């Protein structure tokens, strides 16, 4: 099971995934912190926990690939393992630190 958890609106995530040909891999499994019941975005763990619940996944057996400090914080708070990704367009020198 895989999904996308984002602070961006679902429509924007869908647009970007469609643009790069990845939408079929995540369709129906895109979660925005702005659209979940709590409306809490990262660094709150809510979007990660909501996605795990919807996908019937145990957070401790879940890993997250994350490109932001807020996302790493949220995923760790959710009890998930995190792999940092620093190749995004918004990365900067020292971002990996």
Domains present along the chain, CATH in parentheses:
4-84 (3.40.50.1000)
pLDDT tens across 36-76, in order? 999 999 999 999 999 999 999 999 999 999 999 999 999 99
Question: Which DSSP helix (H) or strand (E) runs through 6?
Answer: strand 4-6
Dihedral sign computed on CA atoms, order 63, 65, 71, 76: positive
List CB contacts of 27: < 8 A, sequence separation 6 or more: 14
Identify the pLDDT of residue 95. 66
Identify the pLDDT of residue 37. 97
In order of 65, 82, 87, the CA distances from 35 in angstroms are 21, 23, 26
- pTM, two decimals, is 0.91
Instruction: Please state, for a pLDDT cut of 70, what percent of the chain lies above it.
Output: 96
Running DSSP on this structure, what letter comes out for residue 7?
S
pLDDT band at 16 (very low <50, low <70, confident <90, very high): very high
């Amino acid at each position: 099971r895989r999904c996308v958890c984002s602070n961006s609106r679902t429509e924007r995530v869908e647009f970007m995934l469609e643009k790069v040909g990845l939408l079929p891999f995540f369709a129906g499994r895109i979660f925005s912190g702005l659209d979940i019941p709590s409306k809490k975005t990262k660094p709150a763990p809510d979007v990660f926990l909501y996605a795990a619940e919807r996908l019937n996944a145990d957070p401790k057996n879940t890993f997250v690939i994350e490109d932001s400090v807020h996302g790493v914080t949220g995923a760790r708070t959710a009890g998930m393992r995190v792999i940092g990704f620093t190749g995004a367009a918004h990365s900067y020198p020292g971002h990996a630190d």
